[in-house]
Amino acid sequence: MYYNNQDIRLEEMPIPTIGPGELLIKVLASGICGSDVMEWYRIKKAPRVLGHEIAGEIVEIGEGVKDFKVGDRVFVSHHVPCNTCYHCLNGHHTVCDTLRRTNFDPGGFAEYLRVSAIHVDRGTFILPEEISFEEGVFVEPLACVLRGHRLANFKPGQSVFVIGSGISGILHIALAKATGAGRIMASDINPSRLKSAQTFGADDVLKADEVNPEKIREINHGRLADLVIVCAGNLKAYRQGLASAERGGTVLCFGVLPPDVDLSFPFFNFWNDGITLLPTYGGAPKDVAQAIALIRTHRLPLKEMISHRLPLAQTGLGFKLVEEAKESIKVVIEPHR
């Protein structure tokens, strides 16, 4: 139960009761997301059970469920779209009102959770046998990354600069490498994360305070980056990103800034150089399906990204590791360990 980043408690709760069209899932792996430790974002709904990167097994099915059976290995999306509103019909599933209202009961950092009928209908996916439960926790974050690359119209051969080399940045780097990027550059304030960035595919790594257009041109054959992906939630990172994009390039806004923070930048340069500033949030169902298909091929070294595997009772330690952002990459909670 999350109260704040320093107060994560192990509490007894009843196993959820399911109704018609619903499923009961035994959670076997649940990843801690960087957004889970964004206290300004989470504290307003505390206390609550967090956790949205889950993989598990169906242990009970509700009346009328036809497409799943007890024992199925599954991934479940925590947010699901309606597929019928104005936004969904125009391809903007992640701004759907239904997607923003739906969630797990209680949350992924629990032994069991109830999957509502709408989640069963459009948010529950069979995990192929080739995908382990711990690899299954990457389905949700990878779907978000895939959506970002899709919206940015990423093409093989393009140069990519990832600002912020936490797990989201690492996934962007690994995906860019697997899909034929040209030069891949990465930055961070943490030497350990720079090492991870290099391990998972970055050709060049830069300390955050060394990033400037001249340095990018020096290592990228005289040009700035075709695609800049900002995975750090701070103003300096975004200003660096805008200054690092090649003419006609794209800055993908992946890291989130708090709602009271305004971003200002030299508009003339942005306009004159034809830069695209592109936000992305979440993943649509087709991105989830693509993530599962990609994970199944084992083209991304996901298991190697898992730095810590912890039991449910040590979820507080997991939050500490992710918040400190020192030696951890991906922290996975195993509720039944």
Are residues 272 and 298 located together in one domain of the fold? no
The answer to whether residue 43 is domain-embedded is yes
Are residues 168 and 128 located together in one domain of the fold? no
Are residues 244 and 296 located together in one domain of the fold? no
Are residues 136 and 98 located together in one domain of the fold? yes
pLDDT tens figures, 135-155: 999 999 999 999 999 999 999
Are residues 7 and 139 located together in one domain of the fold? yes
> What's 155-203 look like in SS3?
CCCCCEEEECCCHHHHHHHHHHHHCCCCCEEEEECCHHHHHHHHHCCCC
- Stretch (H or E) spanning 167: helix 167-178
- Residue at token pair 């320093």: 6
Q: Return the pLDDT at 182.
A: 97
The answer to whether residue 107 is domain-embedded is yes
The answer to whether residue 209 is domain-embedded is yes
Averaged pLDDT of the chain: 97
- Flag whether pLDDT at 65 surpasses 90: yes
Are residues 11 and 133 located together in one domain of the fold? yes
The answer to whether residue 148 is domain-embedded is no
Picking from 96-105, 126-135, 319-328, which range would have the lowest pLDDT averaged per residue?
319-328
pLDDT band at 157 (very low <50, low <70, confident <90, very high): very high
The answer to whether residue 46 is domain-embedded is yes
CATH (domain of 303): 3.90.180.10
Query: Structural domain tally of the chain?
Result: 2
Q: Return the pLDDT at 325.
A: 87
The answer to whether 37 touches 8, Cβ cutoff 8 Å, is no
Are residues 287 and 274 located together in one domain of the fold? no
SS3 23: strand
Q: Return the pLDDT at 263.
A: 93
The answer to whether residue 29 is domain-embedded is yes
The answer to whether 197 touches 165, Cβ cutoff 8 Å, is yes
pLDDT tens figures, 11-20: 999 999 999 9
Q: Residue 254 is part of which domain span?
A: 153-279
Are residues 241 and 304 located together in one domain of the fold? no
Are residues 250 and 317 located together in one domain of the fold? no
- Stretch (H or E) spanning 42: helix 39-42
CATH (domain of 247): 3.40.50.720
Are residues 128 and 10 located together in one domain of the fold? yes
pLDDT tens figures, 233-285: 999 999 999 999 999 999 999 999 999 999 999 999 999 999 999 999 999 99
pLDDT tens figures, 93-110: 999 999 999 999 999 999
pTM, rounded to two decimals: 0.96
Are residues 131 and 158 located together in one domain of the fold? no
Are residues 81 and 168 located together in one domain of the fold? no
